[in-house]
Amino acid sequence: MNYPRFVRITRVVRENRNVKSIFFPFESSIDPGQFFMITIPGIDEIPMSVSRILDKEVSITFRKVGDATERLFGMREGDIIGIRGPLGNGFRIEGDRILFVAGGTGIASIAPAVDLAKELGKDIIVVIGARTREDLFFLERMKKIGKLMVVTDDGSAGRKGLASDVAKEIIESNKVDQVITCGPEMMMKKILDLCRERSVDFQASVERYIKCGLGLCGQCCIGEGLRVCIEGPVFDGDTLARCADFGHYQRDSSGRRVYLKDG
């Protein structure tokens, strides 16, 4: 896990105007929710969740936001990236009726868990929230698996509003045993609070700034001594309810607190 292994990209799929998936060979076992540190030669090493688990191949799916993802966005079949992983833990699928709530690129991290829930014969509802219709992806994939509900901030696709509002209606109708979520932390915090009021099992994939990915540097800490790269990135509701920073602030690459804004 200390050194990247270099692999050739086997396929690149454009998911929307700013999101692409990159496929590469991977034959070891990996759980939905785990992530890789991806080396983009000459630029950086960044964390990316596994977004598809296939027979001898996996994919990562990412939005273009800065230097490293911009370079990844320009990569083609045959180009070389480094991978370290799989790192961290995965989602635990429990109960019969499962609600998945994704905001932004969060659907990339939870899609393999939706696939697993389908294999296990669960009743599935997936809520995907995005700013506009152009920011959505994985809709066809999710439609084939369960009941899909789309929400956009501007109403350009699906319902107008927030994914957390739709999740609230579903949770309050007592129709789910478990909620799995990934997306903006304020959204996940609202859903955590709802699940705790109703005693619904909750898991979220949480982002913190990752440097070593090995549990050594402490950069990715959350709560009291938890490391997102080792004890996470998936945490259950009881654990996150004890993390005073969850839904309030994160730390940037130099350790400074960055307070979260709603929306």
User: What is the binding site for ligand FAD (CB under 6 A)?
Assistant: 35, 44, 46-49, 51, 60-63, 65-69, 105, 108-109, 207-210, 233
| Pick 84 or 171: Cβ nearer ligand FAD | 84
* Binds 216: which of ligand FES, ligand FAD, none (CB < 5-8 Å by kind): ligand FES
E-strand stretches of 66-223: 80-87, 97-103, 123-130, 147-152, 159-160, 178-182, 201-205, 221-222
Query: Which listed residue (227, 237, 239, 246) binds ligand FES by CB under 6 A?
Result: 227
Pairing of strands 35-40, 5-8: unpaired
150: β partners: 128
Q: In whole angstroms, what is the distance from residue 172 CA to residue 191 CA? A: 11
* Binding flag, residue 218, ligand FES (CB under 6 A): yes
User: Cβ 61 to ligand FAD, closest distance in Å?
Assistant: 6
Query: Which listed residue (43, 116, 145, 212) binds ligand FES by CB under 6 A?
Result: 212
* Binds 46: which of ligand FAD, ligand FES, none (CB < 5-8 Å by kind): ligand FAD
Beta-carbon contacts of 185 under 8 Å, excluding residues fewer than 6 positions away, are: 206, 207, 246, 247, 250, 260
* Binds 69: which of ligand FES, ligand FAD, none (CB < 5-8 Å by kind): ligand FAD
Beta-carbon contacts of 150 under 8 Å, excluding residues fewer than 6 positions away, are: 127, 128, 129, 130, 136, 139, 157, 158, 159
Going by C-alpha positions, the residue among 21, 69, 65, 10 that lies closest to residue 44 is 69
* Binds 172: which of ligand FAD, ligand FES, none (CB < 5-8 Å by kind): none
Q: Which stretch binds ligand FES (CB under 6 A): 142-150, 186-194, 197-205, 211-219?
A: 211-219
* Binding flag, residue 216, ligand FES (CB under 6 A): yes
Q: In whole angstroms, what is the distance from residue 88 CA to residue 30 CA? A: 10
* Binding flag, residue 229, ligand FES (CB under 6 A): yes
